[in-house]
Amino acid sequence: MAATLLNKALKPIKHPSFLSSLRSLNFTSLATNPSDGGSTSSPFTFDNKEKDNDSIYLKPSTSNATPEKKTTSVTTPISFMTGSIVGKRFYKKVTTRESDDGIGWTVMLDYRTLKTPSKRPLKLPTLALAKAIAAEWEYQQTDGIRPFTMPLMKLACTALERVPLTRTKVIEHLMKKFDQDLVFCRAPEDNTLNAGFFGGKQGEGLTKAVENLLKKTDDCELAAIDALAAAAHSLVIALGIFRGKLQIEEAIELIRLEEDLQVGKWGLVEGGHDIDIADLKVQIASATVFLGLSRKNSLFD
């Protein structure tokens, strides 16, 4: 299975097939002046700066004075990446707009441009990804913003903040565990409860080919591959998804092969195995969707 999967994962293709469909949302690019400036107790940071050539306008006053142009933003708190509730919803409308330089797209919370925890603009490569992340913000409840329901936003922050600074380390970490990849491990036929088994050393040519492939990825692709590999405990399966050779359900079936065998033998633990399965589906599906929507040849871009 490992050899077949490797061939599928590394076989060149022009356009990986996108595996999920996303309803097209009618987001507008016009921001309006909100009725309030947000709660002062919010963990989010609100910035207001003067800028001569900004494309977002606040509503002019009723006087004849020339309307003043401003740019405002809201910075996501560091705690957003931990998964805890980070504060009540402070915005009414979520929209998307093209970035000021015309390269990329941003998400707007009311009239504010959304920023990452390090105060970098959340500048996304495609409109499709911007709309998907806007949908995550749109469906937050008024009593609290829940980052664990926003996997695409978290992956975007990782791609924009972590990957550019630690690209070499991310690739080194992925390659360090390549020899012990899940698909390389084989259980002996006479496997007993006290027996262990490990993967073997992979060929230098194969290892180099995989490393070179990772080096050619962009930041969004590497962030998605890293997330997939972490969830799957397999870089090979992650690359299979990356190259469009594995669909989400196929990948999950391969990832859970050994545990499903154990469940079939010993039974499923409610509140344990079932939660693990649900969590795995979210991690694999969200990273796959992020990967597809971040590509400029996305079906929804």
pLDDT in tens, 72-130: 777 776 666 666 788 889 999 999 999 988 899 999 999 999 999 888 889 999 999 99
The share of the chain scoring above pLDDT 90, in percent, equals 49
Question: Taking the model in full, what pTM does it have?
Answer: 0.74
**Angle of helix 204-215 versus helix 2-10 axis, rounded to 10:** 40
- Is pLDDT of 55 > 80? no
Band (286; pLDDT cuts 50, 70, 90): very high
CA distances for 184 relative to 17, 227, 235, angstroms:
26, 20, 11
pLDDT of residue 86: 80
pLDDT of residue 226: 98
Band (33; pLDDT cuts 50, 70, 90): very low
The yes or no reply on domain 2-17+155-293 and CATH 1.10.3580.10 is yes
Q: Which residues contact 263 (CB under 8 A, 6 or more apart)?
A: 273
Q: What are phi and psi of 113, to 5 degrees?
A: -80, 130
Cα-Cα end-to-end distance for the chain: 35
**Mean pLDDT, rounded, for 11-40:** 40
Q: Is there a contact between 209 and 203 (Cβ–Cβ < 8 Å)?
A: no
How far out from the chain centre does Cα 226 lie?
Answer: 10
- Is pLDDT of 258 > 90? no
Band (70; pLDDT cuts 50, 70, 90): low
